[in-house]
Structure 1
Amino acid sequence: MPRYVAFLRGVSPMNAKMPELKSCFENAGFGAVKTLLSSGNVAFDARAGSEAALARRIEAAMAKNLDRTFRTIVRSSIALRELIEADPYAAFRLPANAKRVVTFLRAPLASPPALPAEVRGARILKIGAEEIFTAYVPQAGNPVFMNLIEKTFGTELTTRTWETVKKCAAA
């Protein structure tokens, strides 16, 4: 069976217990379920289907089993590994302390903005079919990165660090 990763927007250890989340996926019929990093990443096996259909199924299962939902975006493990192998950050010179982040979109953008887009050290470097590749230098108490992403692309998305994406692809 194909392997997938669900990225749930807004999950933290404070608002979702990982054993309950795992059980929710298992009750929905998914196999080999594994929660990753306690932050809304769930690897699972499922019969081949569209990523959007799997996301809807997961959201329905959360509503039924957890009495709440988190916006869900699904990618196949194969697609994640291909993304990592392509290394979209390799073409850019970034500061050593820059955080590389991938924003996953629920659907392709109708009209992508012109690049580069930058606000106080947060740079949107590249826009893929359903991913946005950004880098920023962390600054204490400064949410400029997420403000840039949400102002530019809305909230039908979720973001993970490059290192988290690598761990999810390997799960």
Structure 2
Amino acid sequence: MPRYVAFLRGVSPMNAKMPELKRTFEGAGFTNVKTVLASGNVVFDASAKAEATLARQAENAMQENLDRTFMTIVRSVESLRALIDADPYSAFKLPPKSKHVITFLRQPYTSTLSLPIKSGDARILAIRGQEVLTSYVPHPGSPEFMRLLEKTFGKDITTRTLDTVKKCATA
């Protein structure tokens, strides 16, 4: 059975309990469910279906069982491993303290962008299908990174560090 990762937007330990989220996914019919970290990453097995269908299934279950929904983007573990194995950041010269971040899109991005796009220490480096390779140098209290992403791609996105994606792909 294929393994998937659901990336939920806006989850934190303050607004979602991981055991409840796990039970919600199990109640939706997913198996071998595991949460990774406390930031809305749910790894699960499911019959092969379109990723958008699995995302809707998860969102419906959250609305029914948690009385709220977190926007959900689903990717197969197989596709995440292929992205990681491609070492996508090796082609870029980035500052040593930069965070490597993957921004997940709900829909393929069809407009043309002249990349990279820079705003302060935030960069949009490349688009690969429905994944955007981004980086930034963290500064306390600076919303520059998310502002750049939302200005460019809208709010139907969610982001994870490359390290988090690796943890999810091996969970």
Aligned amino acid, residue 59 of structure 1: E
> Alpha-carbon deviation of 1:110?
2.1
After superposition, the C-alpha distances for 1:46-100 in whole angstroms (9 at most, x for unaligned) are: 0000000000000000010100000000000000000000111000111111000
Deviation >4 Å, runs of 4+: none
> Per the alignment, in what secondary structure is the counterpart of residue 132 of structure 2?
strand
Q: Is there any run of 5+ residues in structure 1 with no aligned partner, and where?
A: none
Mapped partners of 1:72, 1:132: distance in 2: 16
Counterpart in the other structure of 1:52: 52
Counterpart in the other structure of 1:146: 146
**TM-score with structure 2 length normalisation?**
0.98
Mapped partners of 2:151, 2:112: distance in 1: 13
Matching of residues 3-152 of structure 1 within 5 Å = 3-152=3-152
Q: Is there any run of 5+ residues in structure 2 with no aligned partner, and where?
A: none
Overall identity of the aligned pairs, in %: 65
Task: Give RMSD over aligned pairs.
Answer: 0.7
After superposition, the C-alpha distances for 1:24-63 in whole angstroms (9 at most, x for unaligned) are: 0000110000001010000000000000000000000001
> Per the alignment, in what secondary structure is the counterpart of residue 81 of structure 1?
helix
After superposition, the C-alpha distances for 1:132-168 in whole angstroms (9 at most, x for unaligned) are: 1011111121110000000110011100001000000
Mapped partners of 1:23, 1:97: distance in 2: 37
Mapped partners of 2:52, 2:87: distance in 1: 24
Q: Size of the alignment, in residue pairs?
A: 171
Mapped partners of 1:112, 1:98: distance in 2: 25
Q: Does the 8 Å contact 1:88/1:126 carry over to 2?
A: no
